[in-house]
Chain A
């Protein structure tokens, strides 16, 4: 396993394992995170994994930068991919509708197809959770079929409803809470993505797999969904 250790801050190191986003990296990324957590133990303040990197924030009261580098090397020695756990598979219900997912129309037009076809194509794939970021419980997932890839909106919305499901480039995600956002919105999930009462807080974790399941309006409401149209939130 080739990797680089980069200086990031007085008490942070970046462990760079890959140079490109690839679903095949995930078993290695998960294994690296586990090993780093195990070896640093109490001396780890935070570990921030992303697509190709893991940022190690170590406790400067207990480790010098040089000692931290040594621990990283120890953690990653003879690293083997974590193919065993593979993450959990989640089925996330989504009400795909123009009132909560206005870019459905845009995608259908761009692909010269129907809205129903866009829904089918978005919901038939199994996606991988690459990273969490942007907001608590916001999971970057992919990869979306190439034809559905769409650049972020030129002007981000000031208010995107909680549960909004969107596409940006070849990634898809659901907004855990109301926030500004520039993703192309195609629907809304009633699932609670971040819950301070839940063990582990975030529904989705890196390495998990996700399948979106299209549900009708009645099911969406019965599952606790809020169908306030997007325009009403602006």
Chain B
């Protein structure tokens, strides 16, 4: 076993994997890394399965000291990572000698960084996943969904693989400001014509009311004119519109069913980009057809076959 001790953490530093599946009919949320693209690259850097357990560090404030000679990979946001004070850029695997300290300080670009270990960090599976869901008391190092905390140890038990870097051309572009793809949903025709125009032609500002359940967007109030809805399943990335007309993008830790009308759902690639944005950032939406979004996703996944 190679071990690392956590010296600093926050409630936003969580053990995650691809999520918890096959139990949503029981009211159990999906969970999992918000920026699945960066999580996959972190695992790719070490030759891990795509869904191996990683640490999701949101906004920084996380620090580890190596108890043994270790190897890790870092992908996603630039959170001013440093090894014993020396800058460490994301998108690479690297080694930490015993006693060396890795710190992720604060956002330089993006919001969420992913740390992976050879074979994945050791964690018990709870209902098929180690994804930490604080609200449901599931997953994480303790099995009860707690965020990572000072004094805990992370561990893995694989040898050090060949160190790698994600080719620059394949990395997500966190400076990309193009519109986010949204697959239109069944209630789209029940919004006013004006609201439909505004939904796809106006800027939407990310509110500070944002967590792993959802992100609120501020902009013109959208008007739903359809009948009240009976609660039904909510997909990942649903853009729901409550009575105040301000959309909420529902994320991995959302409730499983709900009764607000939806414009549709963001694509997985749009969600990965959204996960790297901060309150005050501005987004736009672009309608896409399900089949073409599906094809685009399949094509994108080829990148990880490298």
Contact = CB atoms under 8 A, between A and B. Distances in A.
A83 interface: no
B294 A131 contact: no
Contacts of A12: 233, 235, 265
A47 B28 CA distance: 12
B27 A132 contact: yes
B230 A10 contact: no
A221 interface: no
Contacts of A60: 294, 297-298
Contact of B25 (A9, A65, A132): A132
B26 interface: yes
B185 interface: yes
Interface stretch (A108-116, A135-143, A181-189): A135-143
A52 B232 contact: yes
A3 interface: no
Contact of A53 (B23, B24, B232, B256): B232
B183 A9 contact: yes
Contact of A136 (B27, B183, B257, B267): B27
A50 B267 contact: no
Nearest to B257: A133
Interface string B12-28: 00000000011111111
A7 B290 contact: yes
A22 to B, nearest CB: 11
B22 A46 contact: yes
Interface string B249-266: 000000111100000110
Contacts of A47: 24-25
Nearest to B256: A133
A66 interface: yes
Contacts of B236: 9
A58 B21 CA distance: 11
Nearest to B20: A46
A57 B231 contact: no
Contact of A8 (B24, B185, B256, B268): B185
Contacts of A48: 24-25, 232-234, 256-257
A134 B294 contact: no
Contacts of B258: 133
Contacts of A54: 233
Contacts of A140: 231
A46 B24 contact: yes
Interface residues of A, number: 44
Contacts of A135: 27, 135-136, 255
Nearest to A7: B290
Contacts of A53: 230, 232-233
Given A6-B186, A10-B290, A55 B235 contact: yes
Contacts of A201: 23, 26, 28, 127
Which residue of B23, B26, B136, B235 has the most chain A CB atoms within 10 A of its CB atom? B26
A11 interface: yes
B290 A65 contact: yes
B93 to A, nearest CB: 26
Nearest to B237: A9
B265 A8 contact: yes
A50 B24 CA distance: 11
Contact of B268 (A10, A133, A138, A206): A10
Contact of A64 (B126, B232, B264, B294): B294
B184 A7 contact: yes
A212 interface: no
B109 to A, nearest CB: 27
Contacts of A51: 230-232
21 contacts: A6-B186, A7-B185, A8-B183, A8-B186, A8-B238, A9-B185, A10-B267, A46-B25, A46-B30, A47-B24, A48-B25, A50-B230, A64-B294, A132-B256, A133-B257, A134-B256, A136-B28, A136-B136, A196-B127, A201-B28, A201-B127
7 nearest interchain CB pairs? A55-B233, A48-B233, A9-B265, A133-B257, A6-B186, A9-B235, A46-B24
